Amino acid sequence: MIGFLIQRVLQALLVIVAMSIIVFLGVYAIGNPIDVMIDPASDQALREALIRRYGLDLPLFQQYFVFVNNMLHGDLGESFIYRLPVLSLIFSRFPATLELALCAMLIATCLGIPLGLWAGYKPDALSSKAIMAFSVLGFSVPTFWVGLLLIMTFAVELGWLPSGGRGPTTNVLGMNLSITSLEGLSYIVLPALNLALFKLGLLIRLTRAGTVEVMSSDYVRFARAQGLSEGKVVGLHVLKNISIPIVTVFGLELGSTLAFAVVTETVFNWPGMGKLIIDSITVLDRPVMVAYLILVVFLFVLINLVVDLVYGQLDPRIRVKASS
């Protein structure tokens, strides 16, 4: 198990190094952030002074080494715009994105798995066909469009829910959360629903495919022959046996939701990390872009690690392989 962990950490470091180089080269190729930020009233001397202040006059490799050196000391740099440490900037946005992503995953899981089980259990029923049609819609309709549609219906026409923003928050364990109050919840419903839609479609299809396959297997027939109730057969045996692909997809989706909720956060004006990265890209705030992408890599590596550990719990054969 420890060997497995060390291997994983080394892989992660390698990916992070590669990523930092790619991002650095990419941002460098776009050009000088000063030219995006600069005020038209400034003259050449001021431009030169700014370029020097940010160390942008140094050759690329030198800039990169300054950055790496700082990173090794736990310092990912300061935002060009806010002059705040990038890490604290990103983490100040993290709770908003985390609760949005978790709410979306919750909606997707609580609806997607039961619906998928039903659609796989009764593949020919009309209701199952309706579920499948809905799932296709779920991941083929663009997120921003569904978001606007939700806003038009529930905020503008019906006036039931707020159209965007984050509402009041309460401090829980040092994080500002909105899910703790009803008013806060009213702000999260629409964006979470919007973000959940794609995952919902995905989970329905995945669960259905697994269920259809497993339903015709020997152990389901034996379980039925044993006289187990249908509920137990489906809820225990079927669900457990189809859960490995679901856990994989769940992990990856959680990661990508946390990292790339950009579209939903933009449409609903949700002050999370996705909006921060978009705002930073539009002004070429290089330290924020680089640090964010490195954190995303780290996040994915971490999630994949957790997914692998959960596999071990679900399927004893994997545990045996890992220990041998």
Partner 1 sequence: MKLNSKLGGMVAAALLAGTMLGGAASAQTLTMGLRAGPDSIDPHWSTLGSQAEALRHIFDTIVMADENLQLKPGLATSWKPVDDTTWEFKIREGVKFHDGSELTAEDVKFSIDRIPVVTGPMSMTIYTKQVKETKVVDKYTLHVITKAPAPTLPNDFIRLFVVPKSIGMEARNEQFNSGKAAIGTGPYKFVSWEPKGDLVLERFDGYWGQKPHWQKVIRKEIPNDPARMAALKSGQVDLVNYVPATDYAAMQKDKSVDTFIADTVYFFNITPNVKETLPKPVKVDGKEIAENPLRDARVREALDLAIDRKTLVRVVLEGLGKPANQLMPASFFGGNKNLPERPYNVAKAKELLAAAGYPKGFEIDFFCTNNRLPGDAAVCEALSQMWARAGLKVNANALNGTVFFPAQQKGEFPLWMSGWGTLTGEASYTYGSLVHTADPKTGLGAFNKQGYSNPEVDALLQEGARTMDDAKRRALFEKVTEISMNDRALIPTVQLQTVWAAKKGTMVIPPRVDQETLAYEIKPKS
Residues near partner 1 (CB under 8 A): 30-33, 35-47, 50, 80-84, 89, 148, 151-152, 155-156, 159-167, 182-183, 185-187, 189, 266-269, 271, 275-276, 279, 281-284
Pair 66, 286: CB distance under 8 Å: no
What count of other Cβ atoms lies within 10 Å of the Cβ of residue 138?
A: 21
Shortest Å distance, C-beta 192 to partner 1: 11
Would you say 1 or 46 has its CB closer to partner 1?
Answer: 46
The tokens of 37 are what?
């930020």
Q: How far is CA 232 from CA 20, 92, 136, 263, in A?
A: 50, 45, 29, 40
Pair 319, 49: CB distance under 8 Å: no
Would you say 104 or 223 has its CB closer to partner 1?
Answer: 104
Q: E strands within 86-179?
A: 170-172, 175-177
Distance CA 208, CA 27 (A): 43
The tokens of 267 are what?
């449409």
Which residue(s) pair with 151 in the sheet? none
Shortest Å distance, C-beta 90 to partner 1: 12
Which residue(s) pair with 78 in the sheet? 85
What count of other Cβ atoms lies within 10 Å of the Cβ of residue 62?
A: 11
Would you say 279 or 308 has its CB closer to partner 1?
Answer: 279
Would you say 182 or 225 has its CB closer to partner 1?
Answer: 182
Would you say 168 or 245 has its CB closer to partner 1?
Answer: 168
Distance from the first to the final alpha carbon of the chain: 10
The tokens of 41 are what?
């009233």
Would you say 32 or 241 has its CB closer to partner 1?
Answer: 32
Shortest Å distance, C-beta 146 to partner 1: 13
